[in-house]
Structure 1
Amino acid sequence: MNKHGLKGFALALSSMLPAASQADARLQAVMQRLEAGEAVTLATIGGSITTGHAAQPPRERGWAALLAKSLGPRVRLVNAGVGGTDSAAGVQRLQAQVLDKSPDLVVVEFDVNDQWLDPAVRGGSFEAILRRLLTARKPPAVVVLGLTQQGGQPRDATELQLRLAAHYGLTALDFSRWMQARVEAGEDRWAALYDEPVHPNATGHQRIALALAELLRAAARGPIKAVPALPPPLYGQAHEFTRMLAGDALQPYRRQGFARGGEVHPEWPGQQHGWVTRADDAEAHFLAWGSEIAVFHAESEHYRNLEARVDDGPWVTLRGQVPERKGYLGWHYGVVGRDLEPTAHLLHVRVRRDEWAGSGRRASLLAVMSAGIYPPALRRSDFLPEALPGGPVAADAPQLRWVGRIANVPDGRLLAWSGSELRARFTGTQLGLGFASTHWGSSHFTVEIDGVRHWLAVPGNAASDWRLREPLPPGEHSLRLIKRTEGAMAEAVFTGLRLGEGGRLLAPPPARPLRLVFYGDSITAGACNADLGDDQYDDLYFHDGTRAYGALTAERLGADYVGIAVSGIGITATWHELLMPQVWNREAPRLDAPVAPPDPRSPDVVLLNLGQNDHGFPASKGRPIAADFGARYLAFVRQLRGRYPDARLLLLAGGMTAWKDEPAIPRALEQAAATLRAEGDAKVWTHTFQAFAWAHPRIDVHARMADELTRFLNQEVLK
């Protein structure tokens, strides 16, 4: 190299290495250990360039292997390159493929593949890799490798990643600038590094390894500086909290036309088959969690397109038919839903009916990847804990429509039972809500504005005011405030709402033509229906009565919903102190609550689903169900009939397994119905759910239960 080349190389290197006052202390320490003869584990994570693609043999002549060799025999290499993966997929495999190997030094390379990643994702996913490395139990030194395509273009992802490296005080190699300095000095040619636009050839891999080796050795010089505190994220923290469903964990709760199979990523250790189809009408439905949900799917010139949506959101095309993927299979992180509430969701996938219909080509998905499964401290409500100016609209304003068993109290309206609902119409650009509580538990609410769901947690034993963070567009708006948390866990008093300057209430929304009243236990209350793992009652955010089977059925039928449900309760046995016959007619599930006055509007159908705890509690003690369960069940049904003389009665069993384990439960239903019919009561039916779960049902099982119940009501009860 001549003096001009040395000068250019030095200038490029100086622009990539932090100044001494900003030196990367962890990297200095690792390199000084290596120079002292200690063993060091080097891990590399990235896409096909990190695997060594286009160098032969790749794992021996790729840049990662060349770098490890150049650093000496005391370096152990862990190459976690997986072709066709970007940082969004990389963060999903980071723990198993990198952190579990206890690396001392990690080189991160994703900018070429991230150039094709959704721009709304790439900042958060790449930053999450850096943050998870830096917050590991034993944080490694981290180097960001900014590669490029032939000729140094494009640069969007590279610039973003270099900016993140600077934000976290990390050493980074901008390979494009390093190489361009050599080209301008007459010492190299871009054309020598590439035989095609994307992947460097053997010479290119040699240059990458050379640049990294020089950078790492330069970083070893100078004193070791203190490791700075972790700065706040630039792109959020969603991808620090991820979950991947693949292989045996990727089980549809309902499918048609999809079968196990399809391509398995050959470079991803332990990957199992996903789901594949050639049918035009194929569909599959999955339970997923998080604020961002994506499908990791195959793409090539020979595949077909899928489309997917989360819950009832818009359909998103997942491009499997990619003509530019000629001769090889690729993989893509396709975002289906983002900015979701960070809880459980239903993912619906189907074959897209397009010009490839009838072609018999395959469509395939390998995994469902979720981000934003936040711990409680990081959940961000769309409401701020402060009041809007101006006086509140009182809870008894005639423009407000209340649905459910709502009690009048001195300060407002008591919202105890899950499913208790306020509906209103208003104008203005702001919304505030006021609450008070003397109960110990926090109440979780869904606040639906113009069809968009927001989440709000109201603390117990406190008065609180809340306002919507973002202004609404001018004009008319609809509001639904629905209590998610069951009454035994939390009660709240709604004290009023505020609309801000210029806002006013409009005439209330009309009542729905059908009214359903449900009595039940934790299944009907929606307990644990969004839990990620085992059933739990510590974090009631994941218990959502608005997505339990009864509320879903009411929505599908266009009905008003009233839910009277308590976890652990039964007719003859209970996990706590209360039996349903003691509290079924009260304003709240406690003995000191007043008996509720007669319903202002008689329900069309009353549905009863009890018996799970009548069997489950005594069984947990090694005892049988109460010998008089059938008689006491009938007595309670008579109490319901006394309060609702004109309603249709539907006696339900299921959602969990008690009816399978204990024959006395379905027998009691049939005998009670037969007794009432024999007495001339023709408005009584029974139904046993085929959809069930061994633990508390999650929202996928509740959706199937609602399918069953909606069909049964339409075909048998409401006809």
Structure 2
Amino acid sequence: MDALKGFALVLSLMLPAAGQADTDPRLQAVMQRLEAGEPVTLATIGGSITTGYAAQPPRERGWAALLAKSLGPKVKLVNAGVSGTDSAAGVQRLQTQVLDASPDLVIVEFGVNDQWLDSAVRGSSYEAILRKLLTAKKPPAVVVLGLTQQGNQPRDATDIQLKLAAHYGLASLDFGRWMQARVNAGEDRWSTLYDEPVHPNATGHQRIALALAETLRAAARGPAAAATPLPDAVYSRAHEFARLLMNDTLKPYQQHGFTRGGEVHPEWTGQQPGWVSTADDAEARFLVYGSEVAVFHAESEHYRNLEARVDDGPWVLLRGQVAERKGYLGWHYGVVGRDLEPTAHLLQVRVRRDEWEGSGRPASLLAVMTAGIVPAALRTSDFVRDPAPAKPIAPNDEHLRWVGRIGEVNGGKLLAWSGSELRARFTGTQLGLSFKSTHWGTSHFTVEIDGRRHWLAAPGNAASDWRLREPLADGEHTLRLVKRTEASMAETVFLGLRLSPGGQLLAPPPARPLKLAFYGDSITAGACNGDLADDQYEDLYFHDGTRAYGAVTAANLGADYVGIAVSGIGITATWGELLMPQVWNRIAPRLDAPVAPPDPHAPDVVLLNLGQNDHGFPASKGQSIAADFGPRYLAFVRQLRARYPNARLVLLAGGMTAWKEQPAIPRALNNAVATLRAEGDAKVWTYTFQAFAYAHPRIDVHAQMADELTRFLKDEVLK
């Protein structure tokens, strides 16, 4: 007799074990519906064992199919098993393959595949599946199926999953211990269930189904637990907020050597080919978001390796050449970056030059998976409030180096313009920072310590003291504090920094030999460059002037950066109240802000990128650009030349589409250059960006603009 035939009879005759814990009320309600003969949708999600691998035919004799059949004809099975996937990939497909089917009961199985998942990921990714199920619009009953390999080892991943089940009050099956108890009692043998160490055979699938039947039986007869609120997460909640780039959304903003193609996962519904290459120098770059970035790539004895990095982080090996995968294709969630700031990033993937160079073998990536795109309420900084701050080191201390247009306000340093920067060297294990915001909203800062980026937000119209959450190692440290919020959105006064007892400031980092000053609008300010969807100004965390094309160009050239930019501003038209000629030389974009004194170190190159709003604002009202735009543009260029008589001037156009739509803009640039050169000014150029965006450019477009501008400056201006 089939081990699961007569399940309803067994269910009605057997009693729950003594001392059994209270039952999840959702699961008990599902079981009561089954007993009443009502229709129920059962969904299973997991890896190859859930697909029924090694049971023939898998979709009919795997444990999921056997269990569903035993529960009766009113049970609809949705089997979301996908071979070779772990819970990190499972999070990415949970909505479309499970939740969209509105299941009543979901059984989650990733115990074996999560054993090979990065140990720093498996807790968060599995917990995310549970939390997303439990917070769904129609929360299903959830059962955790903890599987191990033959012999009930290893158990690292399974033990995590079972602990999470207990934390959330969910029914669970520890199949390894259930089976080992039968072996110890002489009722069964592990070898009967497995023909190889990983995948149970047909008999093994029957045993899993039988054990699940007992778990469900206990749920049907056990005492119901009281409904409780969802508890706090045990691990990071990053994987609850995940994003999948696949098919048409997996589009590199730059690439060479890759083509659309490669094998797709035969069990992943809706997948299309990713990117594949046999070229040794193939490379692709993608715009991604989140605090964790991973590449989902193919691996077998026939593939070769990739490597990838996020932003300017270390290169990470993505093993495609896996000799032990003989005769079948595997897939791997390869983490490239983790513990990143939860914002926009650039992912670079390339074919690895190693012993397989020149082999002609393919390297393939199918998808990019990211996590940690968290809402503002869950966004945490590495800095915490300091309730009892010590007296800070004054911001005018001679050991501090300031870069940019910095104002002086009552003993503090006014940081208005994005890109305003403090550099320092210090000793000690602690760092504290003090601010006072006097205008408008929150100022967001990048605080780079020893090359590692941290994020800090100083609230508007308030004083705030902060300290680094985790202590630093003993020894010397380097600091860069850079304002990333544009001046028209927030201003902050820096009041000083604090070090640990015994810590001291050292001689500041040396000045950089080259200095660039940029004047512009929202493009130059980096407005919306980290926004995930549409342009928005509600959450300025994603607007990062340090990743705008001008700041990136300066970094490419090892130069100091000065950014004087205001969203919506122009020379003849503005979306706000002020025009650039009114505020360009002030310490902040306000008429009551004083004019900045001459720069102690004048910029070597001054770059101007205006005109987008001179066209865009009147166009929004059905009007044309001002008839005198050209003369007024030239007049402003003459103002720049008067302030910077020895600088090289570069007149820029682009980043968005105004210069394409309005011929008066490139005409004004060309006329300005021609006029100044005719007057004997040979230090003036114009450059039009090829990279552009219809909305505000994101950091991928800014990176392309910076690459263009860096080449132009090297080849034409700085030679």
TM range (shorter): over 0.9
- 1:693 maps to a residue whose letter is A
Write out aligned runs for 1:278-427 (5 A). Answer: 278-386=278-386, 389-427=389-427
User: Partner of 2:163 in structure 1?
Assistant: 163
Q: How far apart are residue 400 of structure 1 and its match?
A: 0.9
1:429: which partner in 2? 429
- What secondary structure is seen at the aligned counterpart in 1 of 2:129? helix
- Offset at residue 174 of structure 1 (A): 0.9
The amino acid that maps onto 2:54 is: A
1:240 corresponds to: 240
Q: Deviations over 1:616-674 (max 9, x none)?
A: 11111111111111111111111111111111100000011111111111111000100
Q: Partner residue of 1:650?
A: 650
- Deviation for aligned residue 1:143: 0.2
1:16–1:174 contact (8 Å) kept in structure 2: no
Distance 1:212 1:227 in 2: 23
Counterpart CA distance in 1 for 2:332 and 2:709 is 38
In the alignment, the residues of structure 2 paired with residue 597 and residue 142 of structure 1 have an alpha-carbon distance, to the nearest angstrom, of 66
> Shift of the alpha carbon at 1:225?
2.4
Which residue of the partner structure matches residue 622 of structure 2? 622
Distance in 2 of aligned mates of 1:714 and 1:237:
45
Give the counterpart letter for 1:624 in structure 2. S
CA-CA distance at 1:555 after TM superposition: 0.9
8 Å Cα contact 1:17/1:171 also seen in 2: no
| Letter in structure 2 aligned against 1:445 | F
Structure 1 residue 339, shift from structure 2 partner: 0.6
Unaligned runs of 5+ in 2: 2-9
- Deviations 1:246-301 (Å, cap 9, x if unpaired)? 11111111111111000111111111111000011111111111111000000001
Residue correspondences, number: 708
8 Å CA contact 2:22–2:222 kept in 1: the answer is no
Instruction: Please give the per-residue CA displacement for 1:177-220, whole angstroms capped at 9, x wherever unaligned.
Output: 11122222332222221122211111111111111112112211
* In structure 2, distance between residues paired with 1:322 and 1:426: 46
1:496 match: 496
Check the 8 A contact 1:387/1:432 in 2, yes or no.
no
What TM-score do the two structures reach when normalised by structure 2? 0.97
- Cα distance in 2 for partners of 1:181, 1:682 equals 88
Corresponding residue SS for 2:221: coil
Partner SS for 2:207: helix
1:498 maps to a residue whose letter is R
Cα displacement (A) at 1:151: 2.2
8 Å CA contact retained: 1:29, 1:224: no
For structure 1, the 5+ residue unaligned runs are: 2-9
Following superposition, the deviation at residue 535 of structure 1 comes to 0.8
Instruction: Tell me if structure 2 keeps the 8 A contact 1:388–1:500.
Output: no
Distance (Å, rounded) in 2 between the aligned partners of 1:430 and 1:664: 55
Aligned to 1:594: 594
| Distance in structure 1 (CA, Å) of the matches to 2:41 and 2:135 | 18
Conserved in 1, the CA contact under 8 Å of 2:16 and 2:222?
no
- What code does the residue aligned with 1:131 have? R
Cα deviation for residue 21 of structure 1 reads 4.8
Q: Is this contact kept in 2: 1:147–1:174, CA < 8 A?
A: yes
Amino-acid identity (%):
81
In the superposition, relative to structure 1, how do residues 17 and 449 fare at CA in structure 2: closer, same or farther (>3 Å)?
farther
Give the residue type in structure 1 aligned to 2:115: Q
Q: CA deviation at 1:560?
A: 0.7
Query: Contact conserved, 1:388 with 1:467, CA < 8 A, in 2?
Result: no
Q: Deviations over 1:563-598 (max 9, x none)?
A: 000001111111111111111111101111111111
Q: Deviations over 1:68-99 (max 9, x none)?
A: 11001111111111111000000011111111
Q: Any conservation in 2 of the 1:16–1:172 contact (CA below 8 Å)?
A: no
**Aligned residue number for residue 700 of structure 1:** 700
Q: State the 1:154 CA deviation.
A: 1.6
In 2, the alpha carbon distance for the partners of 1:643 and 1:56 equals 81
**Deviates most, 374-383 or 229-238:** 229-238
Deviation at 1:223, TM superposition (A): 4.0
- Residue 388 and residue 259 in structure 1: after superposition, are their counterparts in 2 closer, same or farther (change >3 A)? farther
Q: Which amino acid aligns with 1:288?
A: V
TM superposition shift of 1:518: 0.3
SS of structure 1 residue aligned to 2:655 = coil
Q: Could you tell me which amino acid in structure 2 is paired with residue 517 of structure 1?
A: A
TM-score (norm 1): 0.97
Q: Summarize the alignment of residues 468-617 of structure 1 with structure 2, pairs less than 5 Å apart.
A: 468-617=468-617
- The answer to whether structure 1 residue 125 and structure 2 residue 122 are counterparts is no
Q: Which moved more, 1:478-487 or 1:584-593?
A: 584-593
Alignment CA distance shift 1:317-1:17 (3 Å): farther
Compute the RMSD of aligned alpha carbons. Answer: 1.6
Residue 86 of structure 2 is aligned to residue 86 of structure 1: yes
Deviates more, 1:587-596 or 1:356-365: 587-596
Cα–Cα, structure 1 residues 115 and 468, in superposed 2: closer, same or farther, change >3 Å? same
Contact 2:587 2:594 in 1 (8 A): yes
Deviations 1:27-86 (A, max 9, x none): 111101111122111100001111111112211111111111100111111111111100
Task: For residue 331 of structure 1, give the secondary structure of its aligned residue in structure 2.
Answer: strand
1:632 aligned residue: 632
| Corresponding position of 1:710 | 710
Structure 1 Cα separation of the partners of residues 197 and 237 of structure 2: 33
Matches of 2:332 and 2:666, distance apart in 1: 49
Aligned AA (1:172): S
* Mapped partners of 1:543, 1:246: distance in 2: 26
Deviation digits for residues 93-121 of structure 1, max 9, x if unmatched?
A: 11111111111100000011111111111
Matched letter for residue 237 of structure 1? R
